[in-house]
Chains A and B, each alone.
Chain A
Amino acid sequence: MTLERTADVVVIGAGVQGCSIAYNLAKMGVKDVVVLEKGTICSGSTGRCGAGIRAQWGTEMNCRFGLAAVEKFEQLHEELGMDCGLNQSGYLMVAYKESEFDQLQKSMKLQNSLGIDTRVVSYSEAREICPGLAADDAVGFTFHNRDGHADPFLTTFAYMEAAKRLGVTFHRFTEVTDVKTVSGRIAGVVTNRGEIDAPVVVNAAGGYSQIIANMAGVRIPNFSERHEIIITEPVEPGVCPPMLMSFSGNYYIQQRPHGSIIGGCSPEGHPEDYEMGSSWDFLEMMSRTFIKLLPRTKGVRVVRQWSGLYNMTPDRQPILCEADNVKGFFLSCGYSGHGFMFGPISGELLTQLIIGQEPWIPIDMLHYSRFERGELLVEPAVV
């Protein structure tokens, strides 16, 4: 497929953010939307993520995003016409320290005030929710039953297919090598396959968004961090239906509906990295976490390990805005590990900003200028 010479909007990146933005733009009547992807659809961070969806957050911003995203996911298969693999078995948060449990309960009060029905559960109730669980060393648990997980591949493909039906064009194996600006306005992009002139360019490049921003002369403090993950062979359902998550325990583990169990954690030392390799140390450490937390998985086999990039910001909240110094250049990046779950809502909100509407959840505090002003929105609830 030859590359267009012009477009109304060029979206860089075909992960869940890029595909959701493209779909929402087309749905709102924007013509000539072109999505550029250097690999294949969903080959970056979205396709490598832990698949979780939650409204249990520690800041108002993330709670509102999380709840709105959960509500989107609940009807997404109908809207997009394709199954997205949604499984609402909840998130079971596990605290191993009193201070951690205090924080969970503080977050719960905030969540409850925003319409999120998180509650404290006892250990015996936690074991009913997650039959395989062994956590007698835990201090307390919170649970929200509308949290859960979805299939990142199917969700992204569902957005792409729906966007295509509305006339959006997708180009795979098309890498942006430069971003063109003329006197403080975006002018287009240069790729390995030619140039496209466009008055609006969206940076949804995930782990590479700081590189794209740099090309446009926009400085953002994002960096990319490699996170590893493992998956087991499928076993009978019901070992770990909810997402088990602990900040001090440093893990998230969930069982896909077809039986495989997925688990990951934060890397030690949080190295900046663009490599997506796999390490023996992680495999060994994560296996120990699995059998301590879910003893009945001892004889279950690991079939695969992989890694992906968290695009981190200093306060672990995203950048969702138009650039100050380059009009027409929009950013949706820095999700710090939560880009998949926020994709359905951030795509809608950024679309509203692009077409000149007021985003229905205010996003002005997600401008990257907050870092210069020192007005960070630090999110405590991140693994």
Chain B
Amino acid sequence: MSGRQEDIVICRCEEITLGEIREWIAKGYETFDELKRVLRVGMGPCQGRGCREMILREISAKTGAPMADIDPGTFRPPAKPVKLAVLAEGGDK
């Protein structure tokens, strides 16, 4: 594999690398929600489907807490992105 591991893009929606995630975990941003707020990871169209598990693993590696004990952060509606025009039609039809 070419390139440094740190350059691997973990959050593809917001283009955040493994290196950036490690850097901010080291600064004390040790929960998924804090990393989300500072780096926008998990805030793009995929809502963390791509990056959440990998980020939780990094938190686990740094803090020593087992994966099962790490707060995965808040899951918010809608479950998948929906067009405004579709939502605006509502449930009357």
Q: From residue B27, how far is it (CB to closest CB) to chain A in Å?
A: 8
Instruction: Verify if B68 is at the interface (C-beta below 8 Å from A).
Output: no
Bound form: Cα–Cα A300–B83 in Å: 5
The answer to whether B76 touches A306, judged by C-beta atoms less than 8 angstroms apart, is yes
Asked, given contacts A40-B31, A284-B91, A287-B87, whether A234 binds B82 with beta carbons under 8 Å apart, the answer is no
Asked, given contacts A233-B44, A305-B76, A306-B76, whether A287 binds B88 with beta carbons under 8 Å apart, the answer is yes
Instruction: Verify if A283 is at the interface (C-beta below 8 Å from B).
Output: yes
Contact of A234 among B31, B44, B87 (CB under 8 A): B44
Bound form: Cα–Cα A11–B77 in Å: 33
Interface SS of chain A: helix, strand, loop or mixed?
A: mixed
Across-interface contacts of A154 in B (CB, < 8 A)? 38
The answer to whether B45 touches A303, judged by C-beta atoms less than 8 angstroms apart, is yes
Bound form: Cα–Cα A290–B88 in Å: 9
Instruction: Verify if B81 is at the interface (C-beta below 8 Å from A).
Output: yes
Q: From residue A323, how far is it (CB to closest CB) to chain B in Å?
A: 32
Bound form: Cα–Cα A41–B88 in Å: 35
Question: Residue of B at shortest CB range from A263?
Answer: B84
Asked, given contacts A40-B33, A41-B34, A47-B37, whether A304 binds B82 with beta carbons under 8 Å apart, the answer is no
**Contact stretch, chosen from A16-24, A191-199, A208-216, A291-299:** A291-299
Within 8 A of A (CB), among B37-93: 37-38, 40, 43-45, 47, 74, 76-78, 81-85, 87-88, 90-91
The 0/1 profile, CB within 8 Å of B marked 1, for residues 16-45 of chain A is: 000000000000000000000000111100
The answer to whether A298 touches B37, judged by C-beta atoms less than 8 angstroms apart, is no
Bound form: Cα–Cα A47–B81 in Å: 22
Across-interface contacts of B88 in A (CB, < 8 A)? 284, 287-288, 290-291
The answer to whether B77 touches A278, judged by C-beta atoms less than 8 angstroms apart, is yes
The answer to whether B87 touches A304, judged by C-beta atoms less than 8 angstroms apart, is no
Question: Residue of A at shortest CB range from B90?
Answer: A284
Chain B CB within 10 A, most for which of A42, A153, A300, A306: A153
The answer to whether A304 touches B84, judged by C-beta atoms less than 8 angstroms apart, is no
The answer to whether B85 touches A299, judged by C-beta atoms less than 8 angstroms apart, is yes
Across-interface contacts of A42 in B (CB, < 8 A)? 37
Contact of B77 among A40, A283, A287 (CB under 8 A): A283
Instruction: Verify if A65 is at the interface (C-beta below 8 Å from B).
Output: no
Number of interface residues of A (CB under 8 A): 30
The answer to whether A278 touches B81, judged by C-beta atoms less than 8 angstroms apart, is no
Bound form: Cα–Cα A123–B81 in Å: 32
Q: From residue B42, how far is it (CB to closest CB) to chain A in Å?
A: 10
Contact of A302 among B33, B34, B84, B90 (CB under 8 A): B84
Bound form: Cα–Cα A132–B90 in Å: 23
Bound form: Cα–Cα A41–B29 in Å: 9
Bound form: Cα–Cα A297–B84 in Å: 7
Instruction: Verify if A301 is at the interface (C-beta below 8 Å from B).
Output: yes
Asked, given contacts A233-B45, A301-B45, whether A284 binds B37 with beta carbons under 8 Å apart, the answer is no
7 A–B pairs (Cβ distance < 8 Å), ordered by A: A233-B45, A287-B84, A291-B85, A291-B88, A302-B82, A304-B77, A305-B78
Interface residues of A (CB under 8 A from B): 40-43, 47, 153-154, 157, 232-234, 258, 278, 280, 283-284, 287-288, 290-291, 297-306
3 nearest A-B pairs in the assembled complex, by CB-CB distance:
A301-B81, A287-B87, A153-B37
